[in-house]
Amino acid sequence: MMKTLLLLAAALPSIAFAQGLDPVALRDAALNDTLAYEIIEGLTTEVGPRLGGTSAEAQARDWGMAKLKALGFSNVHIEPFLVKGWVRGIETGEIEGTNPRKLAITALGNSGATPAEGLSADIVLFDGLAALKAAPEGSLKGKIAFVTHRMARAQDGSSYGAFGPIRFVGPSIAAKKGAAAIVIRSAGTDYHRNPHTGVTNFEKGVTPIPAAAVSVPDAELIERLAKRGPVRLKLTLTPRANGPSPSGSVVGEIPGSDPSAGIVLIGGHLDSWDLGQGAIDDGAGVAITTAAAKRILDSGKQPRRTIRVVWFGSEEIGGGIDGDAYQKAHTKERHAFAAESDFGADRIWQFNVKLPEAAKDVTARLATALAPLGIAPGKGEVEGGADVEETIKAGASGIDLRQDGTRYFDLHHTPDDTLDKIDPVQLRQNVAAWTAMLAIIANAPENLGQTISKK
């Protein structure tokens, strides 16, 4: 008798699913989640760093395919695209002198190379990007531009917006002014001898110069020496641009009961910088979103909307090309909602939403479900994350589940981005928040997003 009932239930999922998803029960169960940590532990241990466009990223895709299949997701597949490949070479630097000082230095992504035997030049010190911009054209000829700053910790990570441009565009500006190379104080907030890498972008037509970041203690040593007299650096950086290189995103789904309701797109990015293990950036993001989706999958209740989990393949070196590739490939599909986790694994403290006016009650339901986790509604615009912003721009609704970024830029893009930096308790709070959010959004009776026009 029991057996018959069980078989019936299995044969008639729609009956059970019709009972709906309970955001509160799912949320509370997620506070005991172990899957998210297991995914980060596996990815950092069995694959490790996985720069987009390299064989390590290809290994990570295989790992992700196997994982999503093993977890029971549907339609698991890879969506390939090409990324402009770039790989690190030798990277050493020193302050020349009678007692030369070895620098903790790393090339920025897309950096040019020095001659194999290195490059020696005096520095010209700039305090910030505005000072570099103000340098007369040609004034840096044969010199190394050294740009420092005072980026400080901020819960919302906003200091990266203020000081990050030194890395994003400083090298291109220095190159145009004739600099032989540029060295920046890392766009980071820690005081460890671990420099922060990350992409820099040379303007079209500007030949890349060697561009590197030193750790904050090294930067402050250079600043102190510069107060005493001229400072001469020797740099040896031999990175290599590889041209178009295969990359790809891993996709898995939980099919929804109502195809017309549109897709809920969630994910993080699978690729990472090459210096650490890619634990907080962004093993955490793929793990949190996958673990949350898995809880919906295991609830025994089919969601109204299809939940699509994407492990994006080249956010870092690709500068978001993976999200662009996704959006381009899926332009004909209706996306109701999109959200990314790409800011570590510390606790979520605030959420911002983009929802249609008619779906205002969804915000209230989210606020109610998230409040017990210490998460308050914010008043900001939804940014979405580099991999989903194109989908949101194209009309999808979205949410930012904002994580505490106080220590994020201590670790971001450094050798220190390792498994031990994951706090399992805060990680579980993230999974609980994403689970509650998914339960509400996937089943919302309201109309979410816009119908994407068929271009």
Q: Which residues of the chain form contacts with a second copy (CB under 8 A)?
A: 41, 44-50, 55-56, 59, 98-99, 101, 104, 191-194, 216-217, 220-221, 224-225, 228, 276-277, 414-416, 418-421
HSE at residue 405, side-chain half, CA atoms within 13 A, is 21
DSSP label at 337?
A: E
Residue closer to a second copy by CB (options 287, 399) is 287
Residue 81 Cβ vs a second copy, minimum distance, rounded to whole Å = 21
DSSP labels for 75-130? EEEEEEEEEEEEE---EEEEE-SSS-EE--EEEPBT-----TT-EEEEEEEEESHH
Residue 358 Cβ vs a second copy, minimum distance, rounded to whole Å = 49
Residue 82 Cβ vs a second copy, minimum distance, rounded to whole Å = 21
Residue 312 Cβ vs a second copy, minimum distance, rounded to whole Å = 19
Q: Which of 302, 359, 327 is nearest to 13 (CA)?
A: 302
Q: Which of 118, 126, 121 is nearest to 143 (CA)?
A: 121
Residue closer to a second copy by CB (options 278, 449) is 278
Under 8 Å between Cβ of 178 and 88: no
Residue closer to a second copy by CB (options 159, 272) is 272
Q: How many CB atoms lie within 10 A of CB 246?
A: 18
Residue 38 Cβ vs a second copy, minimum distance, rounded to whole Å = 12
Residue closer to a second copy by CB (options 208, 276) is 276
Residue closer to a second copy by CB (options 188, 385) is 188
CA 216, CA 405: separation in Å to the nearest integer? 19
Q: What residues does 87 pair with on adjacent strands?
A: 240
Q: What are phi and psi of 237, to 5 degrees?
A: -130, 120
Q: How far is CA 280 from the centre of its chain?
A: 9
Residue closer to a second copy by CB (options 78, 221) is 221
Residue 212 Cβ vs a second copy, minimum distance, rounded to whole Å = 17
Residue 95 Cβ vs a second copy, minimum distance, rounded to whole Å = 9
Strands 397-403 and 211-214: unpaired
| Position 364, amino acid | A
Beta strands in 150-210 (DSSP E): 181-185
Residue closer to a second copy by CB (options 41, 324) is 41
